[in-house]
Amino acid sequence: MKVFKRRATYNSVKTPVITINLIKMKTIKLTAVCIGFLALGILCSCAASKKSSTKNLIARMEVKVPIKGVCDNNNVVVVLPFPGNRQVRAKAPKTNAELTQELNDKVSFLKDKPDYEDKGTVNIIINCKGELVRCEIDKKTKSPELDSQILAVFAEMKKWTAGKIGNESFDTMDFYSFTIKNGKISLS
């Protein structure tokens, strides 16, 4: 005699639903949304405690090919600035508003395209000395020419303030997402 039987189905919004049929036909349904709320609750309770697990959480980039210019290829950090963990992102030499203005001034690809819409992401690595050592498009736009013009603007920003964990500077990786609407670039 089987005590339970499991099967996976999909509801109307294509969210996987796990159904467990117990003896006496009692049915328990757990959706991915419920599991997500459970995980969020656990994370929030950890973040609220005095001995938060997020204080010690450090995300390191897996470097398969050495990156020229970084201080330590085994220790390139993706900063996770949770409250209380003392992680600080690398600081650009320009504000987001100044960078947005410069992108819109210098990217000539968009000058005669007032209806152009697109989006993308720039991936940058700043070494522990605050030097830009890598700049590339992570999520490409529809145009390679547009990608290269956007990269050229980011590549001009050579000197940054290095990212830190506590008082120690680290090699850090960061992303800049951008959206183009009506031919204008905005950082998101």
CATH fold, domain 54-187, is 3.30.1150
Torsion of CA 14, 18, 22, 25, to 10 degrees: 0
Q: For residue range 94-134, what is the model confidence (pLDDT) as tens digits?
A: 999 999 999 999 999 999 999 999 999 999 999 999 999 99
| H helix and E strand count, the chain | 3, 11
Please write down the HEC assignment for all residues of 67-112: CCCCCCCCCEEECCCCCCCCEECCECCCCHHHHHHHHHHHCHHHCC
Supply 173's token pair.
């990786």
Q: Is the pLDDT of residue 52 over 80?
A: no
For residue 46, name the pLDDT band (cuts at 50, 70, 90).
low
Q: Which residues of 117-153 are buried (b: 16+ CB within 10 A; e: fewer)?
A: ebebebbbbbbbebbbbbbebeeebebeebbebbeeb
The dihedrals phi and psi of 76, each to the nearest 5 degrees, come to -90, 120
Contacts 24+ apart (CB under 8 A), 63-69: 67/125, 67/133, 67/134, 68/133, 69/127, 69/131, 69/133, 69/134
Which band of pLDDT confidence, cut at 50, 70 and 90, is reported for residue 16? very low
Domain ranges of the chain: 4-48, 54-187
The pLDDT of residue 57: 78
Residue whose token pair is 């950090």 = 77
